[in-house]
Chains A and B, each alone.
Chain A
Amino acid sequence: MSAAMTQPLLKIDNLRTYFYARSKQSFVRAVDGVSLEVGQRETVGVVGESGSGKSITAMSVMGLIGAGPGVIGGSIHYASHRVKKNLLEGLENFIDIETENGRVMKVRKNESGWQHASERLMSDLRGKEIAMIFQNPRASLNPYITVGEQITEAVRLHTACKSAKEARERALYWLEQVKMDSPRLRFNAYPSAMSGGMCQRVMIAMALSSEPSLLIADEPTTGLDATIQSKIIELLEELKQDTGISTLLISHDIGVISRLSDRVAVMYGGAVVEYGSAQSVLDINAAIKHPYTAALLASVPSEQKIHEKANLQTIEGDVLDTINVPPGCRFHARCNQVTPEIREKCASHHPELIEVAPGHQMRCWRFVS
């Protein structure tokens, strides 16, 4: 096995993506020190509630963050057998950060320089090496162009099929691959004439048509009907087996994550709080568990709860808005497992992501010995 096969396909290290809330005169620390790995032929699920920064992480990898200041730190190493590079190489030269007590208080950014450099880094990757599918597939397709042509465009941009006819055949092949019924008929249809499920199939076909190494699926089933959701999941699972593509799967739906993922990262307040194999992270009865993951799993109506008609276990308080980030643990205010010994630390210091068991990382003071 070559070295490329052993090192992870995507390695995000200490990624920071901030926005600026003009009306509040403060930063939105949307992604604040995220570290993640996606191995070859692996599916990594990222689960979290709104505002946890999971989608922003994906967008940062794709270089799609438009609003300022955007990505301000960290590294994203990408290594397929074709391309190897840091997607944020040299971008820090365009950014000037001032911190105060370890907290970013001021950012000066050369927007145009940063944009140009980022575009240069991403130009041979976007769509070709890394493809992405989105939530709300119908809005994500261009309503003015037929779906067939949108797939053909991706084929011609990124594969050896340059002639119109060849590319068209290739696009049709991919429509068949995603099990679109009567693909030839749908080829000339506009997205407005298709259901949400069909549009998501088109999105998947378009993403895979350039034969990328990494697929980022950002809430691919959200907003679809339950029966359609299960179909899309089935499709993603089959395609994963057939093509061996690595996937970064982002969802708030624990069900979807548990079905598709090999490894799972749980995000809260812009940081990964737990990271490990799907079984160990999502098992509600596991011995080592981050308090947030435990509470999250418990707040989903389980069969037992439904049976007993018992009230759900809730997490008190509101989802953290990443504007007013507390100095200590992000989850501290809502946590029900704070013990007197660690209370002090929870309130004042942000815990590090540390390994608590082989391949199982945790960001919690309870597990720091």
Chain B
Amino acid sequence: MQNVKTYSQTNIEVGQFSQLPLRQKYAIADLLYVAYGLLIVALVLVSYILGMFDLLPHDPQQIHMDMLLAPPASNGYLLGTDFMGRDILSRLIMGIQAYFLPGLLAISIALTGGVVLGILAGYCDRKTETMITYFTNLVDSFPRLVLILLVIAAFKPDIYYIMVVMGITGVPAVATAIANKIRYLAHKNFIEAAVALGLRTRVIIFKHILWYNCRALLIIQATLGMGEAILLETSLSYLGFGVQEPMPSWGNMVQSGANYFLQGNFWPSTAPALAILFTILGFNLLGDGLNNILEDRRGR
């Protein structure tokens, strides 16, 4: 197989990195990832606001018995209608309400808890570290979805309860990442040098560790966390927990379209599924692209 690569030198001998255009600074793939991810984030954000102020093409719960299962782009229904004649586009936009705020809640719990535990584990003595390792191992022992089913059984299938659990189960990943970062910095004598200079502990932790060295990591974790939250919310509403009909959620839309899907009428189920697919893809690509760019993973 031919694998020809071209290397060419720009005419500027002294390459000032900061003056290079973006596409030369970073791998094109990463920039595409991030661009696509940002597009999805913007779409989700706009749709969320549209849904909040009810700026929808149709009423998402209005039943049109004369327009059952209309195909896309028919008669003012851009994405067609479902088995009760409801506008799929409007329902998709409304469906974002189901995960947006809960997802943010889950992320903030995971990040806050992760930051606190990560700093404790990385910065404190070995005893604390052992205890935190125990905690993270404990949380990691629970399959997330099964634990959530337990909580649903014990309390009620409320999405905010679910997202609290999701947030807690997200803590270990963040904590481990931060603790590793701190350990890396400590290994390079960075923290010791800061202490020796006479910096206060809070300056070291908040300014040097969190702000300068962990912010990229936290953004990335948040992005990936949102992807997971969407996956979880849609899975649960698909399973019949969380948002209930007639309120739309992408998960219950797939579910309610399932019977028609098997009969060969793919659209009512496929539209929300594609929405899930492209949204999660966006968040994942954004996270990975940012990871490569901000943490300098690909460059030499």
Contacts and interface: CB of A to CB of B under 8 A. Distances in A.
Complex A–B touching at CB under 8 A: yes
Interface of A: 18-27, 67-69, 98, 104-113, 323-324
A24 B15 CA distance: 5
A324 B5 contact: no
Nearest to B2: A110
Given A21-B15, A26-B15, A323-B15, A107 B3 contact: no
Among B4, B12, B20, residue most surrounded by chain A Cβ atoms (within 10 Å):
B4
Nearest to B17: A23
Interface in B1-15: 1-10, 12-15
Contacts of B5: 68-69, 108-109, 111
A22 B9 CA distance: 10
A26 B4 contact: no
Contacts of B13: 26, 324
28 contacts: A20-B300, A21-B15, A24-B15, A25-B10, A25-B12, A25-B15, A26-B15, A27-B7, A67-B300, A68-B7, A105-B9, A106-B6, A106-B8, A106-B9, A107-B7, A107-B8, A108-B5, A108-B6, A109-B7, A110-B2, A110-B4, A111-B4, A111-B5, A112-B2, A112-B3, A113-B3, A323-B15, A324-B14
Contacts of A112: 1-3
Contact of A27 (B1, B3, B6, B9): B9
A23 B3 contact: no
A108 B7 CA distance: 6
Contacts of B1: 112
Interface string B271-300: 000000000000000000000000000011
Nearest to A106: B8
Nearest to B20: A25
A27 B13 CA distance: 10
Given A23-B17, A23-B300, A69 B2 contact: no
B6 A21 contact: no
Interface of B: 1-10, 12-15, 17, 20, 24-25, 299-300
Given A112-B1, A323-B15, A324-B14, A22 B6 contact: no
Among B1, B6, B17, B299, residue most surrounded by chain A Cβ atoms (within 10 Å):
B6
A69 to B, nearest CB: 5
Q: Is the interface of B mostly helix, strand, loop or mixed?
A: loop
Contacts of B24: 25
A365 B7 CA distance: 32
Contacts of B8: 98, 105-107
Contacts of A24: 15, 17
Contacts of B9: 25-27, 104-106
Contacts of B14: 324
B22 to A, nearest CB: 12
Given A22-B299, A25-B9, A25-B24, A110 B15 contact: no
Given A24-B15, A110-B3, A113-B2, 11 more contacts: A22-B299, A23-B17, A24-B17, A25-B9, A26-B13, A106-B6, A106-B8, A107-B6, A108-B4, A109-B4, A110-B4
Contacts of B10: 25-26
Among A24, A98, A112, residue most surrounded by chain B Cβ atoms (within 10 Å):
A24
A94 to B, nearest CB: 9
Contact of A22 (B2, B12, B300): B300
A149 to B, nearest CB: 31
Contacts of B2: 110, 112-113
Contacts of A21: 15, 300
